[in-house]
Amino acid sequence: MSYVMNDAASFADESADGFVAAHRDLVRRVRGGVARATATPPGQVAVVIGGGSGHYPAFAGLVGPGIAHGAAMGNVFASPSTQQVVSVARAAASDAGVLLTYGNYAGDALNFDQAQDQLRAEGIPCQTVRVTDDICSAPAGEQEKRRGIAGDLVVFRAAGWAAEQGLDLESVAAVAARANERTRSIGVAFSGCTLPGADEPLFTVPPGTMAVGMGIHGEPGIETVPMATARDLAELLSSRLLAERPETAGGTSKVGVIVNGLGSVKSEELFLLYGALVPLMEQAGLTIVDPEVGEYATSFEMAGLSLTLVWLDDELEQAWRSPAYTPAYRKGTVELSTVATALAPEEAASDVEAIAAASEEAAAAGVQVLKGLDAIKDVIDREADELGRLDAIAGDGDHGIGMQRGARAAAEAAAAASAANAGPGTVLVQAGDAWADKAGGTSGALWGLALRTMGQQIGDAEAPAAGAVAAAVSAAREAVQRTGKAEIGDKTLVDALVPFSETLAALTSERRGLAQAWAEAAAAATSAARATADLLPRLGRARPHMEKSLGTPDPGAVSFALAVTAVGAVLDAYDLKEN
Ligand code: ADP
Ligand code: MG
């Protein structure tokens, strides 16, 4: 639990402000996270890391010479939004492009991938390396599905070193990918953590036992075993990692080692474990290079630890041994004065785009879009508690608050755009970006993407015809499915979105008016959302109690149906006025 707090909702932001205040010489606050206090020199790739808050020093504590150039900082245990990643990457990038590297979690992958698309579209070259070191999170043949834990440090160090050697983007990505390929971790949990403001721990471990391979957010592990001595624990962890020696490691006998504390297992215990590991590594014929024993990726006060091995080659050894100077990780000597010129804080804050005024007809359509978004905000405000209750049954209970944050921000951004006489496309794009930026969670990213996609499709040239609206909804549906990878039947908002989109397309192609077609499509979405009660979820963060959701409809599908129904009511008024 948190002893020091003002308000749970602003915990992550206020903590980040304090962190920056404490490390002004090294980092500056930028929208979405932090960047180095100094500009990235021309010709140097910027390494941008990130993830949810609650894992310090991951991620902001690892920004500085020798490691990262910027960190996107999401809410507590929630991925940063696409906009946050884009904004940090813009602030950190020079002319040589950006490497995005982060632990492989569904929400992070979704948002960082969208950020990559957006950065490339802006002309900023961008590559991605996801960290997949946790051997317990997927079998050996499916390494790309594994999660990232303390092995983050190895990959971030390799990327930062390669970037500072002046390598080009492809080569920096190749070094980071090789570091990831050769890094393996295994964790063990003794007890869970309680998020700021929560009454109950997020997850628990039965007393007297340890959960081998349990994830840092309580994701299920591979087995729960009785507590062991340090010697037996060292044997258990190292034998599992040694059994997974990467094929690409060849004959190397050098390994980097990290003993990482997850929160409340402190230094003396970690050293005890390290001491027990040393003879085991010797017996395996391995030479330890620069061991790290401490906290590198944590989970609030979770009791647990992890062991990481990286099988080094010459280049990776050089990277692993290289100097670094960040708020949380310091090694060797870094000449800060030679790094680059300091930046004025304002220089980072100017990424607001100007809004172009559209024709009178298009601006009037923009006003209709604003009305629709206002209607969504109102219905979500009314239903937020109920949506939270539905999400708490099998999820994490944040769907109501997340939707509320998103819908409010979208309506506000739409109002600003519409006041500047923006056309319908721009109003939707601005609303979508604001939604994704403020909502957090999986649904926030997908709603933001859907609105942005509709906006891009509709454009600002004129007031869109009914068929064009249906085509924009189809494009949004396709983007949501391409990005979230959910199919019908997976118990997600896709179960309501698909019948909505199909009904709208079918009826508008029969030349039915938009208001009537929309109302029937919304009715189809509502019954489809209700029918998700009978489904079992298959996607999203693995939750131990998925069967609990049987009999309860999917919160994302329900909120989607509520939203489109509310829009239908204002469209109705629009059509009547036009006729
Ligand atoms: P989080 O799951 O990150 O806590 P929310 O609680 O806001 O986010 O949203 C949960 C909803 O998101 C689910 O009810 C589901 O409808 C939707 N969702 C989750 N994963 C996906 C996905 N891959 N594709 C489409 N919708 C999804
Ligand atoms: Mg949720």
Closest Cα to atom 15, ligand 1: which residue? 492
Closest Cα to atom 4, ligand 1: which residue? 441
**Residue in 254, 243, 257 with CA at minimum distance from that of residue 305:** 257
pLDDT digits (tens, 9 = 90+) for 74-86: 988 888 998 899 9
pLDDT digits (tens, 9 = 90+) for 343-360: 655 444 444 567 889 999
The answer, yes or no, to whether residue 321 has pLDDT greater than 90, is: yes
- Residues marked active site are found at 217
Please state the rounded mean pLDDT for residues 134-151. Answer: 94
Ligand with the closest atom to the CA of 401: 1
Mean pLDDT of the chain: 92
**Residue in 91, 119, 57, 575 with CA at minimum distance from that of residue 343:** 91
pLDDT digits (tens, 9 = 90+) for 98-128: 999 999 998 899 999 999 999 999 999 999 9
Residues with CB under 6 A from ligand 1: 107, 391, 395-396, 398-399, 402, 441-443, 446, 484-486, 492-494, 539-540, 554-557
Query: What local confidence, expressed as pLDDT, does residue 337 receive?
Result: 58
pLDDT digits (tens, 9 = 90+) for 39-62: 999 999 999 999 999 999 999 999
Measured in angstroms, how far is the CA atom of residue 530 from the centroid of ligand 1? 16
Closest Cα to atom 18, ligand 1: which residue? 492
Core vs surface per residue 26-65: b (16+ CB within 10 A) or e? bbbbbbbbbbbbbbbeeebbbbbbbbbbbbbbbbbbbbbb
Closest Cα to atom 14, ligand 1: which residue? 556
pLDDT digits (tens, 9 = 90+) for 4-45: 999 887 899 999 999 999 999 999 999 999 999 999 999 999
Q: Which atom of ligand 1 is nearest to the CA of 486?
A: 24
State the residue for tokens 């020798």: 66
Ligand with the closest atom to the CA of 538: 1
What three-state secondary structure class fits 405?
Answer: helix
Measured in angstroms, how far is the CA atom of residue 399 from the centroid of ligand 2? 5
Query: What local confidence, expressed as pLDDT, does residue 575 receive?
Result: 62
225: β partners: 210
Measured in angstroms, how far is the CA atom of residue 540 from the centroid of ligand 1? 7
Ligand with the closest atom to the CA of 396: 2
**Lowest-pLDDT choice from 216-220, 341-345, 524-528:** 341-345
Query: What local confidence, expressed as pLDDT, does residue 350 receive?
Result: 43
Query: What local confidence, expressed as pLDDT, does residue 238 receive?
Result: 98
Query: What local confidence, expressed as pLDDT, does residue 349 receive?
Result: 44
Q: Which domains does the chain have, with CATH numbers?
A: 8-331 (3.40.50.10440), 360-571 (1.25.40.340)
The answer, yes or no, to whether residue 339 has pLDDT greater than 50, is: no
Measured in angstroms, how far is the CA atom of residue 77 from the centroid of ligand 2? 11
Select from 492, 532, 554 the residue to mutate for testing ligand 1; criterion: most ligand atoms less than 8 Å from CB: 492
pLDDT digits (tens, 9 = 90+) for 464-483: 999 999 999 999 999 999 98
Query: What local confidence, expressed as pLDDT, does residue 480 receive?
Result: 96
What three-state secondary structure class fits 225?
Answer: strand
Query: What local confidence, expressed as pLDDT, does residue 536 receive?
Result: 84
**512 CB-contact burial (10 Å; exposed 0-12 / middle 13-18 / buried 19+):** middle
Measured in angstroms, how far is the CA atom of residue 402 from the centroid of ligand 2? 8
Dist CA 193 CA 177 (whole Å): 31
**Please, which pLDDT band fits residue 195 given cuts at 50, 70 and 90?**
confident
**Residue in 412, 416, 514, 535 with CA at minimum distance from that of residue 471:** 514
Query: What local confidence, expressed as pLDDT, does residue 576 receive?
Result: 55
Query: What local confidence, expressed as pLDDT, does residue 352 receive?
Result: 52
